[in-house]
Each structure stands twice: as structure tokens, then as C-alpha cells.
Amino acid sequence: MTDVPFGRGGSPLQNLIIRGYQETKITALRCSEGIDAGPVYLKRPLSLLGNAEEIYIRANAIIQDMIIEILRRQPEPVPQQGEVTTFKRRKPEESNLAGSTTLNELFDRIRMMDADGYPPAFWDVGNFRLHVTRASRKTDRILADLCITLKDDSDV
């Protein structure tokens, strides 16, 4: 989900959003020994607007079209060109919203984790963990769903 060689590695969507990107590329590449280092078959644009789940749904449709195109055209992959930038997989504790300083930053940090398989954004308040999902950005506020649980020893 990046314009490789920029963005090789883990958690591409989250790393792009946290860096302020609004668009990226879906890249079809040949597997190789290095992570995301293989030659490229195709690249297609992808908007990063919306929450993670919405972005993944759009990406899935693009990927399906790319598979069909690769099977029909059988293009030769070309080596990646440019400077390599590697992303690290995000850790669960990085979903903590403490330290956010603007509404835009807070919104991005909520929406980038809002998909199945990712720990939702949260705040710890005393003995409670406040999980924030389904955020919607308005001019002067964020509307979101909130789930409050008791913290336990397994919480970060």
C-alpha cells in the first residue's frame, strides 16, 4: 500500500496517515528475499481519505482489478527505483491518544487504527480505558463512538 521503494515494511496505512499523506499507491510486486523489495508489476493510486476500514475496502477493489490486469497482460516486473524508506510495524501502545495536540492529529490517530485486526485508539483515565472508533471530523470537533472498559494487567 505504498509507492515502493518508499514505505517498505510494516503498517503502511498507519505510517502514511501519521506522516500526513492523503494519497498513496497500491503496488503489485514480485515476492523476493527482502521485505517489499521485489520488482514491480503495476501501481495504482489510492486515496487515504476515510477510516482504515473504508480505505481497505477501496484498496481491495483496486487489488482485484490489478490481479485481472496482470493475468491478462502478463507484464514483466521492473526493478524498484528511488531511495528506500522502511516503515516499522506499529505497536499497540502507539494507539494511545495521549499527547495529541490538534483535532486533525487526533482524528488521524483514531481513523488510522479503525479496522479489524488493529487495536483501537484509546486513552487511559484512572482505572478505565476509553476506546475510540468510528470518528467523523467536523469543523470544530470530532464525533466518535466510545467504549469504556476497566483496565487490566494485559493493557499496555
Q: Give yes or no on whether 6-87 and 92-150 have one common fold.
A: no
Q: Which H/E stretch holds residue 45? A: strand 40-47
Rounded to whole angstroms, the Cα distance separating 140 from 115 reads 25
* Cβ contact 130:146 at 8 Å: yes
What is the residue extent of each domain of the chain? 6-87, 92-150
Mean pLDDT by runs of 10 across the 156 residues of the chain is: 96 95 97 94 97 96 98 97 95 92 96 91 96 96 97 73
Predicted local distance difference test score (pLDDT) of residue 156: 55
Looking at residue 72, what DSSP letter applies? Answer: H
Predicted local distance difference test score (pLDDT) of residue 152: 83
pTM: 0.88
CATH number of 92-150: 3.10.25.20
Domain with residues 6-87, CATH architecture: 3-Layer(aba) Sandwich (3.40)
